[in-house]
Amino acid sequence: MELVDSPIKIEIFKSKYQIPREVGLRYCHPDQIDLDRREGEVVIPMIAFIEGGMTLPMGRITRDYLFHHRLCPQQCAPNVFRILGSIDALNRHLGLGLTWYDVVHLYEGYSQTDGGYYLKSRSPVIRLISCLPRSNKNMKDDYLIASGAWHDGVHCPVKEGDPGGKPLNKNIVTPRLSHTNVPALNFMLWAESFVNEEGQLCAVHKILDFEPISRSFQEIGNSIRAGDSWINRIDVSKPNFLAPRDLPPVVLPIP
């Protein structure tokens, strides 16, 4: 809360995270969300800006994923924003043209017992975004309310929703290969970019350029790292996202 506990600090926060001046921003305690949020305003976890690449208006991946899953930002675990924000940033940096369908192809959405939602990679070997914190302790209890011009006409839900009406701990959405940008995903997964000190590919803090609050990252397990020979077999159109043999180099089609 100390980052936004005065008007001056709020302006500094807005400047650091490139929040337009016409967007209003104020702190909200989690117990006061339903009372403090006014019509047309949105509640966003502060960590979404600090480590999730959150922009206002929201990036297309983040906005569309929340919209199509009927989720408002306050329902999402911090790693949801780290993943969505990183893919938004990759689109900006590399012109990949990825959409929320590509997120669904690589990640499963799950319900938590507290009513929140998180993302889990569908493959233990192929991970588009790495270096996600093992724990979000002390990172998810500070919220900001955005008002004014926080969206560009199309926006995510502002009230809590139910993504698909599935029971707890069940998959929320089934991926559709016909909606998946296979060439762009394969290109990114082959690229060996934004690598951390342990060889993990597409490290979230490298993509979004921040110093992690916690360096206790999720176990890499058998995930492919930089230099692994299996990189040449990655193909998200195949079962388990791996082909049985090496593939030709991936070239990103020019739009």
pLDDT in tens, 58-100: 999 999 999 989 899 999 999 999 999 999 999 999 999 999 9
Instruction: Look at residue 20 and tell me if it is in a domain.
Output: no
Which residues, 6 or more positions from 41, have their beta carbon under 8 angstroms from its beta carbon? 145, 146, 147, 150, 158
Domain that holds residue 177: 59-139+153-241
d(CA 61, CA 101): 9
| pLDDT on residue 168 | 36
Instruction: Look at residue 4 and tell me if it is in a domain.
Output: no
| pLDDT on residue 254 | 54
| pLDDT on residue 2 | 85
| pLDDT on residue 138 | 64
| pLDDT on residue 164 | 64
Instruction: Look at residue 82 and tell me if it is in a domain.
Output: yes
d(CA 146, CA 19): 10
Instruction: Look at residue 97 and tell me if it is in a domain.
Output: yes
Contacts within 8 Å (CB) and 24+ apart, 237-240: 237/177, 237/180, 237/182, 240/123, 240/125, 240/126
Token pair, residue 120, equals: 């889990």
Q: Tell me the whole-structure pTM to 2 decimals.
A: 0.93
Instruction: Look at residue 95 and tell me if it is in a domain.
Output: yes
Peptide bond into 57 cis (omega under 30): yes
Instruction: Look at residue 205 and tell me if it is in a domain.
Output: yes
Contact 117, 110 (CB under 8 A): yes
Place of tokens 């090496």: 246
pLDDT per residue rounded down to tens, the chain (255 residues): 789 999 999 999 999 999 999 999 999 988 899 899 999 999 999 999 999 999 999 999 999 999 989 899 999 999 999 999 999 999 999 999 999 999 999 999 888 877 789 999 999 999 999 999 987 766 668 999 999 999 999 999 999 888 765 433 344 567 889 999 999 999 999 999 999 999 999 999 999 999 998 888 988 888 999 999 999 999 999 999 999 999 998 877 655
Instruction: Look at residue 14 and tell me if it is in a domain.
Output: no
Instruction: Look at residue 26 and tell me if it is in a domain.
Output: no
Q: How far apart are the first and last CA of the chain?
A: 43
Q: How many domains does the chain have?
A: 1
What is the per-residue pLDDT across 136-159, written as a single tens digit (0 to 9) for each? 766 668 999 999 999 999 999 999
